[in-house]
Amino acid sequence: MPEYKDTGAGPSRRQAWFGWCMYDWANSAFATVILAAVLPVYFVSLVPSEGVFLPVIGGPLTATALWSYAVAGSMTLVALVAPGLGAQADRSRCRRRWLVMLSIAGAVITSSLALAGPGRYLLAASLFMLANVCFAAANIFYNAFLPALAQGSDIDRLSSRGFALGYIGGGLMLLLGFLIIQHPSWMGLSNPSQATRLTFFLTGLWWFGFSLPTFFYLREDMIPRPAVKPAATTRMQALWQVWKDLRSYPDLLRFLLAYLFYNDGIQTIIAVAAIFAKDELGLDTTSILGCYLMIQFVAMPGSLLFGRIARQWSSKSAVLLSLVLFLAVTVYAFTMQHGWQFWLMGLAVALILGGSQAISRSLYASLIPAGKNAEFYSFYAVSGKFAAILGPLCFGVLAQITGSNRLAILGLGLFFLTGIGLLLSVDVQRGQRAAQEQIP
């Protein structure tokens, strides 16, 4: 795919890179505060200690199980709509428009979590699911710009830079929330619960406000038109066409399957770590938020480090290294008994989390044929979101049946093992050649 060049008629290459990276800075506040650190812990306080009963699912459901089902439910919605949405966006060339609309909607819903007061766990779960759908779907169109903005080794560098800025941005928003929750009187509030809800409101504002450079500097014409204009189709026809196209790129398809499994483990660790620390290790909110702050700021140099490893070895080798380390993390988590061990695990995750995600994103981008960015990234999103369905769902079922979060954590190792095996079968150079040839 041809790389975006300065033409003097629009944003410069430097401005385009800046605008693209700033979206990682903006939406990482949601990933950190809502997905990982603050809302999961707050959600535990909303759910009765004896658990709850829900239609169809039954019960009693613990806070951990209910949260896992909420994550899985939101990702099911994304998996259902993403492929057709991505193909339609490529066909009508409205990727930027969808990015703007979904980002604004997600930010507004995130701020609305401030309405979820004590006992309103169903409202909190519903708003979280809607916001998470917007967050995940917007990333389809955000990621679609990556292969148009950089090529070769620059694509790993740009992806890693985006993740690095994301960890800083998410970390700063988490730090702000931490200070507000620890000192609610500074904001004229009477208790930490009110301060937590204010943090949710500010997270939505952060997401919207720091997305403005992205909206301004990214342009639809940065992504080249495909050689053959796609015919107008229904959503189901578009979905079938994307699947047929994917089968023409076997290494790309193998990578998607590998990503499905190993990202399953990664996303589930992110989603349940805070609740695990509170329920199994008895850590208080201050300790959990402090650990997540450490993770955010250590993950930034870790992301850049894996970008360097990818340049020295290869993108595939860098991802494989991160997965072996994640496998070790799951075994270690199973044995943890003390709070300081959670901090040690957090340090290890911080060093490998950003790198594994950044290099996976850029490796996939290098395998995409020109003009099919959003279309193929929609399948990347579906692969990731099916992972986010299966992982939390399996974790929730195991936790519900066995009553042990530790066995559920240990079970995640199987996803990493499967992902490693599939990734080893991917021939990256062959896949990149196929993408350049643009098989019809």
pLDDT in tens, the chain (440 residues): 445 555 556 678 888 899 999 999 999 999 999 987 889 889 888 888 777 777 666 667 777 778 877 877 887 787 777 666 666 666 667 788 999 999 999 999 999 999 998 889 899 999 999 999 899 889 888 888 887 787 776 887 888 888 888 888 998 999 999 999 999 998 999 899 999 999 999 999 999 999 999 999 988 777 666 554 544 455 556 556 666 777 788 898 898 889 888 888 887 887 777 777 877 787 877 888 888 888 877 877 877 788 788 888 888 999 999 999 999 988 888 888 888 888 888 888 888 887 787 788 788 878 877 666 666 766 666 655 555 567 767 777 777 677 667 777 787 888 899 999 999 999 988 988 887 775 44
Q: What would the two tokens of residue 431 be?
A: 């896949």
Provide the pLDDT for residue 6.
Answer: 54
Fold of the 13-220+232-437 domain: Growth Hormone; Chain: A; (1.20.1250)
Q: What would the two tokens of residue 23 be?
A: 């979206």
Alpha carbon separation from 171 to 92, 104, 182, 216, 240 (Å, rounded): 36, 21, 16, 24, 40
Provide the pLDDT for residue 232.
Answer: 44
Asked if residue 141 lies in contact with residue 96, where contact means CB atoms within 8 angstroms, the answer is: yes
DSSP 8-state code for residue 60: E
Q: Would you give the distance in Å from CA 172 to the centre of its chain? A: 18
Alpha carbon separation from 334 to 27, 50, 92, 276, 356 (Å, rounded): 31, 25, 49, 11, 22
Domain ranges, ordered by start, for the chain? 13-220+232-437
Provide the pLDDT for residue 440.
Answer: 44
Q: What would the two tokens of residue 31 be?
A: 């990933």
pTM across the whole model: 0.73
Q: Which residues pair with 52 in a beta bridge?
A: 61
Q: Would you give the distance in Å from CA 370 to the centre of its chain? A: 24
Asked if residue 118 lies in contact with residue 133, where contact means CB atoms within 8 angstroms, the answer is: no
Provide the pLDDT for residue 158.
Answer: 86
**Per residue, what are the HEC states of 43-58?**
HHHHCCCCCEEECCCE
Nearest to 410 by CA among 349, 332, 346: 332
Count CB atoms within 10 A of the CB of residue 153.
13
Q: Exposure pattern of 4-40 as b/e (b: 16+ CB <10 Å)?
A: beeeeeebeeeebbbbbbbbbbbbbbbbbbbbbbbbb
